[in-house]
Amino acid sequence: MAALASAARSRRRLIPYLHRLLHSGPAAAAAAPSPSTSRFLRHASPVPRTPDHSPYLRFPDARVSTLPSGLRVVTQAYPAATRMASVGVWVDAGSRFELPGTNGTAHFLEHMAFKGTGRRPNAQALEVEIEDMGARLNAYTSREQTTFFADVQARHVPVALDVLTDILQHPRFPERAIQRERGVILREMEEVQGMMEEVIFDHLHAAAFRGHPLGDTILGPEENINSIKKKDLEQYISTHYTCPRMVVSAAGSVSHDEVVDRVKELFTEFSTDPTTADQLVEANPAIFTGSEVRVENVELPLAHIAIAFKGASWTDPKSIPLMVIQSILGSWNRSVGVGNCSGSSLARGISDGNLAEGLMAFNTNYRDTGIFGIYTVALPDTLHDLSRLIMAECRRLASQVSEEEVARARNQLKSSLLLHIDGSTAVAENNGRQMLTYGRVMSFLELFARIDAVDCATIMETAKECIIDKDVALAAVGPISNLPELSWFRSETCSDDEFTRRMFFAKAQNN
């Protein structure tokens, strides 16, 4: 009976389709898709397409106010069932702006900001106040920016602003706390040394920007951590924590006018020195150097390698094409097990050839420059073939890129960007960072339109400009005796050989 019922259901589904086929013209019959194909095309397409994003990207507008002091306030209010908000201070100052011999000061200051103020005499008093509100207070330092932010209930936004202002305008920097924090940062340094990805990218910056503060680590060397004094911290704040270089960003359940009024009331003691970060960068620009850092360590089971080219600044027209190139190169890890069906031809080549344990394309922007390239982890006996494959793929981007893979990369990039703005914290961070880098908040409709304007011709033009016959920065740690010399990588930006065809078109030749 079950079989008869199933057959009857199949006939009921098939009869309308046959009726349409029999009563339509020959052209329509030829064009009519099968029921299964029709169902598939309603929800997906075998060819990547550029969709219309406007119905999904109409977020509330970000509002911006600039105070007479030069301090900027940006808010983005949207309905939040949880009545939560995020508010923070984004400062256009990081490790690249440190004076010679004081590398590590910006990060040390981030730690010390939470150690007490005149009204909140110690770290415990500050922590109790934050925890009593059910809030979260945090901070981080990068090479060009420092951020202090809080996630709070909407009714506590005024208190959060008071806390943020207090720790930045009235820090105490007690000597005992400074001595204690030295040990904390040194332990943090030991932890970072165990994170190979962090180690590699510190070495890569040293190779790419040799002799420049942008090539220094954010934590600084051990000798600096042991010697930084209260006056160094105070000088860094007075020099770089100025109103024109600061942005207060709030998102979630917030009122723009109320935030602006509170900022006017509280942010009254910062310097109004008009010197901008751009002026400081112009006075000491970062120069990309084609050099390398190699640390041979045969005790490590895997080699960690980063290969990089000079990238683009935040405002460089090449910045968005390079974001798409990063998406084309892709990322992959053997534990995921989808390399041979990945959209990234590099991931497919590495997976099919069993050449690495994982790879990650990266693209980092700074005010006047950038770096982009490939980070990979591999067994030592595969390093030469792996290097040839990576360089062949980089060269390919300058000559043979399909519209389909570019469309796929654009869609993956847009999805990744949207995933990174989930929640008020991410929105406040995005807006604060954009105000520092662009001087405005770029809407996602505009950003996605700029991404969709990148076609295969743009990719090839950008790759020719940034990869072909260009210097290479290299960082490698582990058993790397089989890794080619830097001069070989440099020569591979110009040469072409049969390796590309063998690795990327082996399946096509077999067919």
Each residue's pLDDT tens digit, 166-201: 999 999 999 999 999 999 999 999 999 999 999 999
> What local confidence, expressed as pLDDT, does residue 41 receive?
40
> What local confidence, expressed as pLDDT, does residue 55 receive?
66
Same domain, 257 and 348: no
Active site residues: 110, 181
Kindly state the tokens that stand for 28.
Answer: 């329509």
Domain containing 117 — which CATH number?
Answer: 3.30.830.10
Task: Quote the domain boundaries for residue 312.
Answer: 288-509
Q: Is residue 167 part of a domain?
A: yes
Which residues, at least 6 apart from 212, have a Cβ–Cβ distance to it below 8 Å? 96, 284, 286, 287
Q: Is residue 267 part of a domain?
A: yes
Cβ atoms < 10 Å from Cβ of 233: 21
Between β-strands 72-77 and 358-365, what pairing exists: parallel, antiparallel or unpaired? Answer: unpaired
The model's confidence at residue 340, banded by pLDDT at 50, 70 and 90, is: low
**Lowest-pLDDT choice from 103-107, 122-126, 282-286, 323-327:** 122-126
The model's confidence at residue 336, banded by pLDDT at 50, 70 and 90, is: confident
Same domain, 464 and 363: yes
Same domain, 348 and 277: no
Same domain, 438 and 451: yes
Same domain, 261 and 307: no
Better-scored residue on pLDDT, 78 or 192: 192
The model's confidence at residue 60, banded by pLDDT at 50, 70 and 90, is: confident
pTM of the model: 0.85
Same domain, 190 and 320: no
Q: Is residue 36 part of a domain?
A: no
**Lowest-pLDDT choice from 16-20, 247-251, 255-259:** 16-20
Mean pLDDT, rounded, for 85-106: 95
Q: Is residue 200 part of a domain?
A: yes
Q: Is residue 52 part of a domain?
A: no
Q: How large a percentage of the chain has pLDDT more than 70?
A: 84
Q: Is residue 438 part of a domain?
A: yes
Q: How far apart are the first and last CA of the chain?
A: 46
Which residues, at least 6 apart from 152, have a Cβ–Cβ distance to it below 8 Å? 84, 85, 86, 87, 133, 134, 135, 136, 159, 160
Same domain, 239 and 358: no
- The answer to whether the CB of 270 falls within 8 A of the CB of 90 is no
Better-scored residue on pLDDT, 374 or 1: 374
Mean pLDDT, rounded, for 415-431: 91
Q: How large a percentage of the chain has pLDDT more than 90?
A: 76
Q: 300 to each of 335, 340, 380, how far by Cα in Å?
A: 19, 27, 10
Mean pLDDT, rounded, for 11-39: 42
Same domain, 278 and 293: no
Choose the final residue of a domain: 232, 254, 283: 283
Q: Is residue 143 part of a domain?
A: yes
State the Cα–Cα distance between residues 430 and 260, nearest whole angstrom.
19
> What local confidence, expressed as pLDDT, does residue 123 receive?
87
Same domain, 168 and 304: no
Choose the final residue of a domain: 283, 311, 328: 283
Average pLDDT, the chain: 87
Better-scored residue on pLDDT, 108 or 56: 108
Same domain, 467 and 504: yes
Beta bridge partners of 73: 65, 248
Choose the final residue of a domain: 236, 263, 283: 283
Same domain, 258 and 168: yes
> What local confidence, expressed as pLDDT, does residue 496 receive?
55
The model's confidence at residue 13, banded by pLDDT at 50, 70 and 90, is: very low
Q: Is residue 56 part of a domain?
A: no
Q: 490 to each of 143, 290, 380, 453, 471, how far by Cα in Å?
A: 27, 9, 21, 31, 6
- Answer whether residue 11 shows pLDDT above 60: no
How many domains does the chain divide into?
A: 2
Mean pLDDT, rounded, for 480-502: 80
Better-scored residue on pLDDT, 61 or 32: 61
Same domain, 307 and 203: no
